[in-house]
Amino acid sequence: MLIEANPYKVFAGSQGQAIAQRVCEHLHCQLGHVKIERFSDGEYAATFEDSVRGQSVYLIQSTNPSADNLMELLLMIDAAKRASAYKVIAVIPYFGWARQDRKDKPRVGIGAKLVANIIQVAGADRVIVVDLHAEQIQGFFDIPVDHLYGSNVLAPYVESLNLDNLIIASPDVGGSKRAATFCKKLQAQTGKEVPMVICYKHRPEANKISEMRVLGDVAGKDVVIIDDIVDTAGTLCKAAKVMKEAGANSVRAVISHGVMSGNACQKVQESELDELVITDSIPFDCSRCSKVKVVSMALPIAKTILAIQEHLSISEQNM
C-alpha cells in the first residue's frame, strides 16, 4: 500500500483568510478550519478543528499591528506543534514591525529581531514572507526563510498598461535598489530600457516630510513609483504632486503592502495619483478608495508551498 509522504494542510488567521482562500484555489485544496475563540477580557485561544498529526501545516497570517494578529499566529503555531504536526510553516504575507530593523538611535528596541525570535520560540520550522522592508531581516531567523517579491505580480501589471513613456521612480534614496530591481525585471520582460528617477526627501520625524524634490527628468513621462509599504500615504501623495509639477503625464504608485492607516484613503483619493496598486498581503476593501487596485500574491505563495512539498527550487518556480 502506498502512503502519501508529508501531506499538508493550509490554515489562516483572521488577517489571512482572504488571501488563504485564493491560495487554496490554486492548490486545489480546502482551507482548514481553525477556531479563534475570544474572551471578554481580550484574551483568545486558537483551536484546530481538523487533525494535523504528521502533516506539514501552513499557517497564513499577516502580523501587522495591532499585536492581536501576531499573537494569533503564535497561538496557531503552538497549537499545531502540540497537535503533533510534522512541520509548521508560517506564511506571513506582511511581516509587521519590519521597519524596526536596526538600532538607529540610542535606547531603542529592534522589533523585527524580537518578532523573529518569538516566532521561532513558538515552534515555527520555516517562514515564507513577501517583500521584507529590509532584506537583512532574513538573517534574524535561524530557520529557513523564503523571501517572495511583490514584483512577481506587480511588474506584469505595469507591463500590461503599455505605457509608451514609462519611467520608474523611487520615493526615497533608500528605496533606489528596490526600484532598480523592478526596472531590470521590466526590461527582461519587455526587452526595452526602462529609466529611473529618485525622489529626495527630508523627514524630521516618522510620517512627516519637510522637503521633497525629484532627481531626474519626468517631463512628459508616465511615472510609476515603486515602494514596499504605503502607510499614511504622505510620501506618495507628496511625490505625486512634485512629479506632476515637474511635468509628468501621469503618476501611479505600485506598492507591495497597503497598510493604509489613518486617513490614508482620503489622502490618496484627493491626491495627484492616478492609481495606487497594492497586493493582497493585507486585506483591503477597494470601496474605501476608488483609486486603489489590488493584485493577488496568492499564486506565488501557492507555487512556493508546492515547491517546498516537492523539494523543488523556489526561485525557479517564481521566476
Residues that are catalytic:
201
Residue of 257, 228, 225 whose CA lies nearest to 238? 225
Cα angle 26, 31, 37 (rounded to 5 degrees) comes to 150
Report the alpha-carbon distance of residue 209 to residue 201 in Å, rounded.
7
CB atoms within 10 A of CB 303: 20
Report the alpha-carbon distance of residue 56 to residue 58 in Å, rounded.
7
- Which element (helix H / strand E) includes 87? strand 87-92
At residue 104, what are phi and psi to the nearest 5 degrees? -95, 0
Q: What SS3 class is residue 182?
A: helix
CA atoms within 13 A on the CB side of 121: 7
CA 57, 62, 65, 71: dihedral to nearest 10 degrees? Answer: -10
What's the burial of 10, exposed, middle or buried (CB within 10 Å: 0-12/13-18/19+)? buried
User: 166-170 and 145-148: which strand pairing?
Assistant: unpaired
Q: What SS3 class is residue 175?
A: helix
> Which residue is it, cell 515564507?
128
Measured between alpha carbons, how far is residue 220 from residues 163, 164, 186, 247 in Å? 12, 10, 20, 6
